[in-house]
Chain A
Amino acid sequence: MAGEFDYEVSRKIWEAAVPVEFQVERDDDSGDACRPCYAMLPRCSYFSLHLTRILEQVRAREESVKLDADKVWLECNGLPLKTYYPVGVLFDLYKPPDTPTITVLIKTAPRPEGVSLVSKDTMESIFMQSLKEANYLKRRKDQVVSTMKIDEHKQLWSGIVHDRFDEFWSINRRLMECSEERPFHDIPIRLYITGQPFRQVPQPPHDENGEPRTLSHALTSLSSDLVENGKYRFISHGITLPLETPLTYLGKNFAYPDNFVHICAVSDSSA
């Protein structure tokens, strides 16, 4: 059971959506606050795929607001939002314990240095780089992604853009194949802490004795102090993961569409 693929889990993960409150931060000092705009965004998706629709929603209610998708940027908790992270990762990182939503400011002031516009094309490139890297980790020499046809790459991305589980998984199923005879070489895992770049090191599914490695082993290999003082909870897809979860299970069932297991370390004192 530790290594089994669970269709129900994958389906629920795909279908999960999170409530996001959008507010426009006006650069004039009129004092009039725009009414917030709410959207349920798929956890497995990306903000840049929804921004145009969000801005249309805001403009429909506040005709005096000029919003250009090429010029706005997003902020959350006082930090520029890394819109190239999956929606679910950003939500898990930023959701306050006492409210069901995260609040994203739509900023019209000039973008700070280092904050890049993430267009749909850029988002697709970033996604494909991550997907290639995840599958290199899993297969090493046997590169499934490299032998894919271009239209299969397009189908993976199209499945995400249009929120089509079957379209996506008809290709992704092949990327998730592993067995006792042909196990994953490494489990693709990225760890996120607010205000830092994500961390990633190769994570073999078994230790040198052939025993399954768990989340606890993976976290300790990333940073020795992450686990020991109980300071953090480790959340993926909104779920606090037990530290004894086998890595193979995570790799098969908790990966986001880019095939990485994205895990957020959230301070436990705020729970």
Chain B
Amino acid sequence: MIYAVFAPLVMTLLIPFFNKWKDKIHTGWFLLPIPLFIFLYFVQFIGEGFSPVAESYQWIPSLNISIDFYLDGLSLLFVLLISGIGTLVLLYSIYYLHKSERLGHFYIYLFIFMSSMLGVVLSDNVYVLYTFWEFTSISSFLLIGFWHYRERSRYGALKSMLITVFGGLSLFAGIVTLTYITGTTSIQEMINQKDIIIDSPLFPLILIFIILGAFTKSAQFPFHIWLPDAMEAPTPVSAYLHSATMVKAGIFLIARFSPILAGEPMFFIIVSLFGIITLCWGSYMAVRQTDLKGILAFSTISQLGMIMAMLGFGTKAAIFAAVFHILNHATFKGSLFMIAGIVDHETGSRDIRKLGGLMTFMPISATLALFGVFSMAGFPLPFLNGFYSKEMFFEASLHLDGYGGQFIPFFQQAIPYLAVFGSIFTFVYSMYFFFGTFRGEAKMGELPKKPHEAPIGMLISPFILVLGVILIGLFPNLVNGTFIAHSAEAIYGSAVEKDIYFWHGLTYPPLIMSIIVVVLGTLLALTRQKWAGIYTIFPRNLSFNEVYNYIVDKTETASTKITNKYMTGSLRHYVLYILIAILVVSGVVFFLTNGFAIDTSGLSTLKLSDVPDILVGLTMAIAAIGTIFTNNRLSAIIILGVVGYGLAILFVIYRAPDLALTQLIVETVTVAIFLLCFYHLPDLKKIKEKPSITLTNSIISIGFGALMTIIAISAHSSKWFEPISNYFLETSKPLGGGYNVVNVILVDMRGLDTLFEITVLGIAALAIYGMIKLRRDKEAK
């Protein structure tokens, strides 16, 4: 299995080499065998007596993450869809994409997608599943933006990326929570621990996280908005990713976790409610579209909603119908996308208002579309598979029970009506799609190209898919026992046996519902022009695209606004933030820990001999305050000098001769530099400030000074242990060989400090030299 999963990924390495010969042979031909072999490999598992197969490979054993593959009925259905439709899409793309396109890029993205999709459906380890899951998002992003020079493509790619990655991260949160609760990373083991998960208080969170992941990926309401915009991708991509495979990854996720989640009232309500809403909304909106692929996109949304709703119902019949419809939808929707691509390819337009009457020009495509469309509409004919699944859906919607509560019974009664409503619109847009394109009057003048039938190679893939539609339609029990039943069993947890019949008798309620759908649908389809005005009333411009655009726009503008608010570019503001933070943090900590304490015992007492230091200190204080008020730069510098020299005198008084010496010299040099500079600086004019600014400045600076004083006094009042200075005093002579203890400390005991202080001076000197000498601008000349 591991070879099957990673084969496309390995193949991407070879694609650039094949691509060199693309002028002679289309790159796609080299790659066609890969998905075909994968398909054939998995076909061998089909059969009545299928039992799950597991494989395991080490990846990150220490984190309990290993590449575990688990092939049960559900995975088998999906791998067959992925590889089978993958083969057909590849064949189709060979005729669809011209050799002048960047084929290498296209096939690399497509094969990355194929690998990751196979990985998603086969992984048993949740983290591996998540890894592959995100790879599908990324490759889908690349494929949607394949024609990156188009603005709409980039918009669509970004939108799908944002929404699906949002869901992907939510899924990640879900699986992390699941691993936390169960202690295992394997899905099968989680299913065995179902009771622990359900009893956990985190269960609602897990449920929401996983459902969010599934809903965004599977384009459920209201996250469906990315799918119509993803139609900017080349048609093979739309057919493959956005109808048959990737959008079903969310369905797969819900199905995979159904053994754990299903049976809970919350799961039932959320999944089936949103599924039904998506069904109705998607089919309602599809009628409004004018783009062929737009119709199909909304049709996909609504069909996905239908499958999701059935998974939400969780009854035996519903799950069987859901699985059956996954298969059916993939066949007819894939073929319809390909036909839409053919129409686009051969006429140059996808706008249904310009198309019409193509049946005479493209009889084969029209015939194929006819089958696909009527199957999609669920028309009661015994050779269309869509009808069976639709009828089973109606039947499932009628037999819902097992849940109590206030809201649920009402909801259960409403479901059949909503289902019929959604199906009527499904019927309408299906007819609209077919008759609008192939019947009616041909508008030759409005088409860029003269329409003609597609090359035979392009028709093979939709033909095979339509063949699938008819074969399943004629012999539904052919696929039933061999793998549909196994899939349903994997979801439901126990064996689901069901035979599919076309005819149940006239009084069979789902048949009556189907007949209602056909009758009302035909009526509405015929009178479509008359009531199309309803779309200007509802939803009008009220769409979720607006919400999305608003959110994207607002996150950008709002964050810019916030940043501009505090990143003013003014140094004063930044200094203020720093000081306020210091004040608040230290002040609060000081207050909370009761840090302020005065202990006078250790202090030296005030004596008459202290008068000189007090006088010096007073002078310094006056000088320091003077710097604030002076408006003359010369006096400001002199006053600063007073502070410096005062400090030197204090050093003298407090028995620090080396300090006094250094301070005197440094102060002299500094004052000299100040004087040198001030000559070149503009005059120190008094700048009139607003009183409020002066007030904040004063409060902050006084607060800061007070804080430092308090810290100094408190620190002084709490001595915890003796200083280590006695060691320096004792060993200065014997170890350092000097009498001046300060100097011995500087060059001997803590010489490293001095080394780097010298470095600092050196760098400062170099920088000053550089600043003065090096001029790169005009000033240099």
Asked if A and B are interacting partners, one says no
* Chain A residues near B (Cβ < 8 Å): none
